[in-house]
Amino acid sequence: MTPAPIIVTALLGAADQAFADKLRRAHYPAARNHVPAHLTLFHQLPPASGPELATRLRAAVAGRAPPRARIAGVMRLEAGVALSVHSPDLAAIRDELADGLAGLLGAQDRAGWQPHITIQNGVPAREAKALFAALSAEVTARPLHIAGLASWAWRGGPWEAIGSTRFNGRG
């Protein structure tokens, strides 16, 4: 199989995943909606980093309680809308991983991280503005359960699961 770039995401708890997926199915352009709602930590790691990444992800969750997180509200993207996520705990985990993977990170992953779950993207500005207004009135800040971390191979369509690991410590 052809090597593919690796994406790393936070795994959402079942109820939060269902909530975000429902919004994404309703508002993301169907022709391009190939993946479930997700919270990306790293956008593109080299295929050869897979074994090292798996070790680092297991170490990042081992004995650690799920990071406290919350949906902070709705945010505008250039051509869409996302749920803004606030989690200093998850940011610290991402920073630890980024330090260990520093030589493997591309420009996008070296830039500042703004955690979010994309609900809509690639639409005309007026459509994004309307959804932003509607969701801003509906979505209130609330806890978000982060269950673990996962890695995925990206070959241009649906992602292929590589592996996942769950937080197993007590909070």
* Banded pLDDT at 3 (limits 50, 70, 90): confident
User: Looking at residue 171, what is its pLDDT?
Assistant: 59
Tens digit of each residue's pLDDT (9 = 90 or more) over 95-150: 999 999 999 999 999 998 999 999 999 999 999 999 999 999 999 999 999 999 99
Starting at the edge strand that comes first in sequence, how are the strands of the sheet with 160-166 ordered? Answer: 142-143, 70-77, 80-86, 116-120, 39-45, 6-12, 146-153, 160-166
Rounded to an integer, the average pLDDT of 60-87 is 97
Do 12 and 144 meet the contact criterion of CB atoms below 8 Å apart?
yes
Residue listed under structure tokens 């993946």: 35
Radius of gyration over every alpha carbon of the chain, rounded to an integer in angstroms:
16
pLDDT at 170 over 90: no
Helix (H) or strand (E) holding 85: strand 80-86
Tens digit of each residue's pLDDT (9 = 90 or more) over 39-51: 999 999 999 999 9
DSSP codes joined into one string, 115-126: -EEEEE-S--HH
Nearest to 87 by CA among 113, 110, 111, 107: 113
d(CA 34, CA 52): 27
Strand 6-12, strand 39-45: pairing:
antiparallel
